[in-house]
Amino acid sequence: MEKKKRVWIYAIIVLIAIVVGTVGVIVYEKSNDNKSITKCIKKGNSTTAVTSEEELKAVTPSTNNPVNDFLDKAGWSLISFTKIKEEEMPASFEVKEDELPFGLIWAYNNELSKVAGLDFLAYKGKKIKTYTMNVKSKSDENNIVPCNILICDKKIIGAWFGEEGTCGFMGFGEEGMFRDVNTTIEKLAENVYKNSYSDKINEMIKNLQPQEMIKMYFDALNKKDYKLAYYLLDIHSQIQHCTTGEKKISDKFFAEEKIELLSMEKDLNSQNEKFQNELGEEVQIESYALKAKGRFKGEKEDITKRGVVSFMKSGNNPWKIQFVGLRNE
């Protein structure tokens, strides 16, 4: 009987130890999560994320909080902060040869900020903080979106909707509704790209049709001319590469080591459309069914793949490649 009693006592002690240990691991992991967030260094654009519980509490909405006041006047209410980021705004928004279009993202988000009556051009080269948060419309509580607000010297200098780290997609509007920016990113890119190479490429391809464009693209990849392949992409595809952590055009953007176009024909299952953008310019989108054979990164032999390639043409600009998606047969 005494022996059974001792066994039960030992079992209870072990059970308590397991519970205490599990709680300790959870607390430790939670602590490490906070540390990893606080000390996170985002490679590629010298950005340091400094989110900390103390700092987030410091900007929690109050009746005198500038962020809360700003959102309230714009027809939005704060749900929660998700990140605070310290960085130095570029001294110039120009995009030079071989550079990814980070400057264009800044310039476009400034255009979006203008919808809210803000303009941060005067703050180029200065240290700022970007507050990323989730907000909801006061007129529609189901309308929940991410939002970024820039602050310099305790003053709000910019604000736009969009995921942190990517190009914003709309500016603030009245009564909690979105409002389109009054320029297109393609039009803005004409003023931001300051290199003769992009002008040279546009001149070279201005009369090319989509079928000729994809052949030039694959030929550039086979010759490892990644700069040419990159500039054959439309501006939206170029911007997507800004999330890779790279600063310059790189072979890391392309999965094809060599590739041969086998066939290409109009994709009747995809929507080929024409519409007018914000400036009234005609935009065309065409999609084609694609079959190609080549060596892809991570593969040991040549593989035949099928997929879709889409092209976009805006105004008098040349056709550009919008999307290439290939999958195994």
- Could you tell me the pLDDT band of residue 22, with boundaries at 50, 70 and 90? very low
Q: Does 109 lie in the same domain as 76?
A: yes
Pairing of strands 282-296, 256-266: antiparallel
Same domain assignment for residues 107 and 237: no
Let me know whether 183 and 56 are in one domain: yes
Q: Are residues 206 and 111 in the same domain?
A: no
Select from 162, 188, 214 the last residue of a domain: 188
Residues 225 and 251 in one domain: yes
Residue 6: its pLDDT value, please?
Answer: 46
Query: Cα separation of 100 and 231, whole Å?
Result: 11
Tell whether 254 and 312 lie within a shared domain. yes
Give the type of residue at 327: R
Per residue in 263-296, pLDDT tens? 999 877 777 889 887 678 899 999 999 999 999 9
Identify the CATH number of the domain in which residue 259 sits: 3.10.450
Give mean pLDDT, residues 74-95.
Answer: 89
Same domain (yes/no): 177, 236: no
Domain boundary pick from 140, 155, 188 = 188
pLDDT of 161: 86
Q: Determine the Cα–Cα distance for residues 16 and 22; give it in Å rounded to an integer.
A: 10
How many domains, the chain? 2
CA distance 115 to 134: 19
Domain assignment of residue 311, given as a range: 195-328
Burial 302-322 (b: 16+ CB within 10 A, else e): eeebebbbbbbbbeebbbbbb
User: What is the helix (H) or strand (E) element at residue 202, kind and residue range?
Assistant: helix 196-205
Beta bridge partners, 80, equal: 134
Q: Are residues 70 and 130 in the same domain?
A: yes
Closest CA relative to residue 171, chosen from 124, 110, 82, 102: 110
Claim to verify: residue 221 and residue 280 sit in the same structural domain: yes
Q: Is 139 exposed, middle or buried (0-12, 13-18, 19+ CB in 10 A)?
A: exposed
Which amino acid, one-letter code, is at 71? L
Local confidence band at 256 (pLDDT 50, 70, 90 cut-offs): very high
In a domain, 324, yes or no: yes
Give the closest residue to 295 by CA, choosing from 267, 246, 247, 260: 260
User: Do 216 and 174 belong to one domain?
Assistant: no
In a domain, 70, yes or no: yes
* 262 has a pLDDT exceeding 70: yes
> In this predicted structure, which of 132-136, 152-156, 173-177, 192-196 has the lowest mean pLDDT?
173-177
Q: Are residues 173 and 202 in the same domain?
A: no
Q: Is residue 27 part of a domain?
A: no
Q: What is the pLDDT of residues 106-153, one digit of tens each?
A: 999 999 899 888 999 999 999 999 888 899 988 888 888 889 999 998
pLDDT digits (tens, 9 = 90+) for 230-246: 999 999 899 988 888 88
Question: Is 247 in a helix, a strand, or coil?
Answer: coil
